[in-house]
């Protein structure tokens, strides 16, 4: 699959992603690196603009999917999860799964320098591919591509449904209160089986205590308790 772009290559990639292009030129451009475009004296457009568009479309579709999956979650939690799903690390894994490197149209120099395995090139090509599907088949086709290749591989069972620490920080920011501080007030048990007690303080005041098998677990539990209390009252630092 190296070198010249031929119909069999396009068909192979279309079969792999499960989408048939009505206008194959969109797919061709999505896989054309700047180095190849420059060698053709700019006669063939590179995928840079497609990558720009694909990045925006991907961000929108991932945000939309997360709102459907986590309708009760706060912005901070959703933003962190979205950042993971559109990160270079995640997109690189998807690009490798699709073996996009073998379909890239590279200039000779880029080819010789190992461009087909470069993370940045693969991520850009994947984002450009999202744009190509969008331009050819519209938002519905792009959504199906993102669901299948970007979101479906995620093990949602391993994704925490709520980040109570982030939610607490957001709530305090909304109320223009100081950020929370987490203080370990007690450690119990043997080294291999410790229990930690954590206190949440806001503006010098103690808001909640909780225990956990790790500092992080205790902090999350304390933040959850603090959230429940603060959502029932109008908290102002320095008042009780």
Tell me the helix, strand and coil percentages in the chain, rounded to 5. 60, 10, 30
- Measure Cα distances from 148 to 19, 109, 143, 157, 158 in Å: 11, 34, 9, 17, 18
Rounded Cα–Cα distance for residues 184 and 100 (Å): 48
Q: Which residues pair with 212 in a beta bridge?
A: 196
Helix axes 75-85, 164-174, angle to 10 degrees: 130
d(CA 126, CA 53): 11
**Nearest by Cα to 160 from 106, 223, 117, 203:** 223
Backbone angles phi, psi at 116, to 5 degrees: -70, -15
Q: For residue 99, give the DSSP letter.
A: T
- Written as six digits, the tokens of 217 are 């677990």
Q: What are phi and psi of 168, to 5 degrees?
A: -65, -45
Helix (H, G, I), strand (E, B) or coil at 60: helix
Respond yes or no: is residue 111 known to be catalytic: no
Q: Is 97 a catalytic residue?
A: no
Active-site residue, selected from the candidate residues 55, 136, 163, 219: 55
d(CA 121, CA 106): 10
Listing DSSP states for 156-202 in one string gives GGGS-S--HHHHHHHHHHHTTPPPPEEEEEEEES-GGG-EEEEEEEE
Q: Which of 9, 110, 124, 127 is catalytic?
A: 127
Residues with catalytic function = 55, 127
């Amino acid at each position: 699959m190296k070198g010249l772009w031929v119909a069999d290559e396009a068909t192979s990639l279309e079969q792999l992603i499960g989408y048939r292009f009505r206008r194959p030129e969109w797919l061709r451009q999505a896989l054309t690196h700047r180095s190849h475009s420059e060698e053709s004296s700019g006669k063939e457009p590179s995928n840079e603009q497609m990558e720009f568009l694909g990045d925006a479309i991907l961000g929108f579709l991932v945000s939309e999917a997360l709102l459907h999956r986590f309708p009760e979650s706060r912005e901070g939690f959703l933003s962190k999860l979205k950042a993971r799903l559109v990160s270079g690390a995640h997109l690189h894994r998807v690009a490798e799964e699709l073996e996009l490197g073998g379909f890239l149209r590279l200039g000779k120099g880029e080819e010789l320098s190992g461009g087909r395995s470069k993370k940045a090139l693969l991520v850009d090509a994947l984002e450009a591919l999202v744009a190509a599907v969008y331009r050819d088949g519209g938002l519905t086709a792009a959504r199906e591509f993102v669901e299948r290749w970007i979101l479906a591989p995620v093990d949602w069972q391993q994704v925490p449904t709520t980040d109570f620490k982030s939610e607490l920080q957001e709530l305090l920011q909304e109320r223009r209160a100081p950020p929370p501080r987490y203080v370990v007030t007690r450690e119990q048990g043997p080294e291999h089986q410790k229990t930690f007690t954590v206190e949440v303080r806001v503006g010098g005041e103690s808001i909640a205590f909780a225990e956990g098998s790790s500092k992080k677990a205790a902090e999350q539990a304390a933040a959850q308790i603090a959230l429940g209390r603060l959502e029932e009252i109008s908290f102002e630092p320095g008042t009780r």
